[in-house]
């Protein structure tokens, strides 16, 4: 079972898709944040996080994701998620992430809806 989180970035004409693989905890969350902030500094304002290969998120990981969302909102951009496991989807709803970030079932729909 993968312990450390790995992040891959796919730049799109109007934003970027971040693919995560592994555990979104403190270390994993910071890794996502670093990549997201780099993209924000590069004027990317629409980010899609594809969590298809992530099965576990803990509360610290969630708080970091919230910080990323808030930072993007401050910059006038938006963050969305796709391909969540049912457990993570419910977690995001309860923890309020779904109030500030759109959640899509699949990447294709997300890219189309976000205009990436």
Partner 1 sequence: MSPLVHQFAEFLHDLQQLERAALSAHGTLIVDAFTKHTPYDVSAVYLRDGRGPVLRLVAKSDACIAPDLIESEEIEAFLLDPEPRHLIPIRTIRDHFGIIALNGDAASDEDLQMLHAAGTFAGSVLSNHRMAQEMREGDFQLKYRLWELESLYDIGLSIAGTLNIDALADEILFRMISLINARRAALFLRDGDKFRVYRSFGDTRSDFLDDEITDRVVAAGEALTFEDASECIFPGCIATVAVPIKGNNAVIGVLAAGDRETREGDVGAFEANELRLLSLFANQVAIALENARLHKEALEKQAMQRELDLAATIQRDILPKSIPTVEGIELAALSRPAKQVGGDYHAFFQRDGSLTTIVADVSGKSMPAALLVSAFHAAVQLLFAEGRELGDIATELNRHIHSWSAENKFITMIMVTIDPEAETIQFVNAGHNPCYVLTGDHIEQLRSHGLPIGILGTSKYMTQTRPFPAGSAVVLYSDGINEAENVAGDEWGNEVFEELLALRSTISASALRDSIAEAVDAFVGEAAQKDDQTLVIARTAM
Residues that bind partner 1 (CB under 8 A): 1, 3, 23, 25-27, 30, 55-60, 63, 66, 74, 87, 90-91, 94-96
- 51 closest CA partner among 78, 91, 11, 12: 91
Nearer to partner 1, 90 or 112 (CB): 90
Determine how many CB atoms are found less than 10 A away from the CB of residue 111: 21
Nearer to partner 1, 87 or 109 (CB): 87
For tokens 């049912």, name the residue: 86
Nearer to partner 1, 5 or 114 (CB): 5
């Amino acid at each position: 079972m993968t312990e450390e989180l790995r992040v891959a970035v796919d730049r799109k004409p109007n934003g970027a898709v971040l693919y995560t693989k592994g555990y979104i905890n403190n270390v994993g969350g910071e890794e996502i944040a670093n990549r997201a902030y780099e993209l924000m500094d590069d004027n990317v304002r629409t980010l899609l996080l594809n969590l298809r290969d992530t099965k576990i998120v803990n509360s610290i990981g969630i708080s970091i994701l919230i910080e990323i969302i808030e930072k993007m909102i401050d910059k006038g951009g938006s963050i969305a998620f796709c391909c969540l496991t049912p457990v993570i989807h419910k977690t995001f709803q309860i923890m309020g992430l779904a109030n500030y970030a759109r959640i899509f079932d699949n990447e294709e729909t997300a890219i189309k809806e976000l205009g990436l």
